[in-house]
Amino acid sequence: MSEQMDASNNNEGVGVDVTAILVHPNSHPIMKLAEPALNVLFEQFQERSHETIRPELAHCVGLIGYVMLNEGEPKFAEWIFEYLNEVRKSDVQRQLLINAFRHSIQNEDEMLCLTNSIQQISEQLKKILESIVHAPLMIAAITDTIIDLSRIYPQIFQDIFVDIVDILIGWYIEPLPTDRILEYISQALHKFRPFWVEQIEATTLTLLDNFIEDADNYAQQFELHGNDDDDDIGAFTDKIAALYRLKTKHANTAVCILLEVFSQFDEQLQNDIFDFIIQQTRLHTQDWPYEADVNFLRLIMKIVDLSDHDSCAKLASSIFAVNSRLWLYRFLYSNSLIQDVLQLFNRLLRIKSIPVVQQVYQAILADMTSNFNVLLNVLEQKTIVIGSGSVLQLTN
C-alpha cells in the first residue's frame, strides 16, 4: 500500500513539473518542439498496446495545445481536427481528443487566439456532433466544447445554433440514450438560453412547432404501415414511445414547478391534479415507457407533501389498484426506479391518515399473499390468504 502511495506521489510530482515547464514564461523555444511533440504523442496515442495510458497521452496533447494557444499560435486547432478526422472510426479516441481540445481552450476567453479560425472550428464541431450514432457518451464531450466556445464567440455560434439544437433534440426520439444522457441533453439545451431568448420568434417557437409536427408524422406513418412487418412497426413504436417519454417528462416537470407556486391547494386545483396523476397510473407498458416515470414519481411525492392528508386516500387507491402502473414497478429490472417507488410507499406510510395507511398495508398484505402462493403452488400446497388478500380495484 505504501509503495502505491509513493508511486502516486511521484506521478503527481512529474505532472506538476511537466505543467510548469510547458507554461514557463520563456516558452518560445518549446514552441519549436510543440508540433513534433504532438506528432510523437499522437503516434503513441494510436498504438493499441497503449490503450491503458491513452487518456494520459491525450492529456499531454491538451497541455501542449494550451501552451500553443496561450502563445498566440492557433495552429493547434488545425492539428487536432486533422487527427480527429484520422480517428473518426473510433469514438473513444475522438472523445479523448475532443477533451484535449477543450482543455486547450481554457484561457481562450482572454487570449482570443482562435478568432480567425472559429468559423471553421464551429462547423467542424457541428459535423462531429452530427456524426455521433452509437456513442451517446461522446455527446457530452463535444457539446460541452461547443457550449464553452459559444460563450466566447456568441456571434459565430448564433449561425449554427439551430443546427446544434436540432441535432441534440433528435436524440430524444432515439431508443439508445439512457435517462442520464437525456438529462444531460436537457441541461445542455438550457445552457443555450441566451440563444433561445435572442431567437425566440425566429427559431424557438418554430423548433417547437417542428417537434410537434414530427410527432404527428410518426403517428400517421404508424397508421399507414400498420400491416407491415414487425421490424418496421417496432421502429415506429420506438420513435413514438421516445416522443411520448419526452412530453410526459416535461409535462410532469412543469406541473411540479407550478406546484412550487402554491402554498396550498384549493379543491378544484387538487381535483385536477389528482385526475392528471390517476390517468397516468392507468397507462400500460405498450402506452408509455417505464423510464418516463422518474419525473412522474417525483411529481406524486410533491403532491403528497402539499395535499391534505385525508385526500391522499384517493391517490393511494389509484396507486395500489390492480395492474396499476406504479404497482407493477416492484418487478422491474431498474433498481433506481424500484427505490423511487419504495420511497413513495414510505412517504405514504408516514402520512397521518388512517384511510391512506390502511390502503398501503392492505396492498402489502395482498402482495405477500401473492408471493407466498407462488411458492405454495410450486410445492403443491394449499394457497393462503393474508389479510383481505386482494389489491384495491381501480375506480372510475
Contact of 326 with 343, CB cutoff 8 Å: no
Read off φ and ψ for residue 287, nearest 5 degrees: -90, -25
Q: Which long-range contacts (CB under 8 A, 24 or more apart) does 28-32 make?
A: 28/71, 30/67, 31/67, 31/68, 31/71, 31/73
The proportion of the chain whose per-residue pLDDT surpasses 70, expressed as a percent, equals 78
Instruction: Please check the confidence at residue 395 and state whether its pLDDT lies above 60.
Output: no
Q: Give yes or no for a contact between 189 and 168, defined as CB atoms under 8 angstroms apart.
A: yes
pLDDT at 43 over 50: yes
Least confident interval from 115-119, 193-197, 221-225: 221-225
Does the pLDDT value for residue 17 go beyond 70?
no
26: pLDDT strictly greater than 60: no
- pLDDT for residue 14: 39
pLDDT tens-digit series, residues 341-362 = 888 888 888 888 888 888 888 8
Whether the pLDDT of residue 21 is over 50: the answer is no
Neighbours of 23 (CB within 10 A): 14
Mean pLDDT of 239-257: 71
* Res 83: pLDDT: 94
pLDDT at 60 over 70: yes
C-alpha cell at 275: 385526475
For 290-329, what is each residue's pLDDT tens digit?
666 777 888 888 888 877 777 788 888 888 887 777 777 7
Confidence of residue 396 (pLDDT cuts 50, 70, 90): very low
pLDDT digits (tens, 9 = 90+) for 72-110: 999 999 999 999 999 988 999 999 999 999 999 999 999
> Is 372 a residue whose pLDDT tops 70?
yes
What is the structure's pLDDT at 290?
A: 62
Contacts of 297 (CB under 8 A, 6+ apart): 326, 337, 340, 341, 343, 344
Count of Cβ atoms closer than 10 Å to residue 101 Cβ: 26
pLDDT tens for each residue of 154-180? 999 998 998 998 899 888 777 666 777
Distance CA 349, CA 268 (A): 26
Q: Which of 9-23, 116-130, 217-231: highest mean pLDDT?
A: 116-130
Angstrom distance (rounded) from CA 44 to CA 384: 68
% of the chain surpassing 90 pLDDT: 29
Q: Compute the average pLDDT of residues 143-164.
A: 94
CB 334, CB 290: distance < 8 Å: yes
What is the distance between the alpha carbons of residues 129 and 166, in angstroms, rounded to a whole number? 11
Give the Cα separation of 47 and 93 in Å (integer).
11
CA 320 to mean position of chain CA atoms: 30
79: CB partners within 8 A, 6+ apart: 35, 38
pLDDT of res. 40: 94
User: What pLDDT shows up at residue 157?
Assistant: 93
Residues 6+ apart with CB under 8 A from 144: 102, 188
The pLDDT of residue 320: 81
This prediction's pTM? 0.62
Q: Return the pLDDT at 183.
A: 80
Mean residue pLDDT across the chain: 79
Task: Quote the radius of gyration of the chain (alpha carbons, Å).
Answer: 28
